[in-house]
Amino acid sequence: MSVGGFIVAGTILFVVVYTILIYNRLVNLKHDTAKAWSNIDVLLKQRHDELPKLVETCKQYMQHERETLDKIMQARSGIFAARESSNLHALGASESQLRQGLTQLFAVAESYPDLKADASFRALESRITGLENAIADRREFYNESVNNNNVRLEEFPDLIIARLFSFKPFELLEFSDSEKRDVDLKALFS
């Protein structure tokens, strides 16, 4: 084999190995993003299971706050439906509705000393607050995974391999400005 043949064979080998490395990195990013979503999904499921317990505990004390409890359960249903369909926009809207409902519930609970003293309520409040914090952390990690994946799909030469093998970008979990705004407790109680 001539020197030119070695150069051609070496170039082909380099291109093949480099293509494999890029492909494997893109697969890794795709699965990292799917895993990040799965972590959010697990926490949403845990919270989904805890909310009826919280509402039942509150019902015993809060006879006049039925609307607040109903809002929480409606938001819970919306989150479940959005999770099942992987609809990130609907999930964002339902998450905001739930956050507002929980904020209102915990604020209203201050008016019910017996409820605040109830061990079940305190445990559920703590558990749900912990889940809310964990979900916020996982959302951030998910969006970082999505960003890493999507940037890689647009970088050269990765975009060639990505298009060749039909890799698709993921959607960020974003919330509208109205969904990110703090809840106005004065407006809720006036």
In the chain, domain spans: 3-188
pLDDT in tens, the chain (190 residues): 788 889 999 999 999 999 999 999 999 999 999 999 999 999 999 998 999 988 888 887 777 778 888 888 999 999 999 888 888 888 888 888 888 888 888 888 888 888 878 888 889 899 999 999 999 899 999 999 999 999 999 999 999 999 999 999 999 887 655 544 554 444 444 4
pLDDT at 177: 56
* Class of domain 3-188 (CATH, top level): mainly alpha
pLDDT at 176: 57
pLDDT at 46: 92
Predicted model pTM: 0.73
Q: What is the DSSP string of the chain?
A: --HHHHHHHHHHHHHHHHHHHHHHHHHHHHHHHHHHHHHHHHHHHHHHHHHHHHHHHHHTT-TT-HHHHHHHHHHHHHHHHHHHHT-HHHHHHHHHHHHHHHHHHHHHHTT-HHHHH-HHHHHHHHHHHHHHHHHHHHHHHHHHHHHHHHHHHHSTTHHHHHHHTT--PPPP----HHHHSPP-HHHHT-
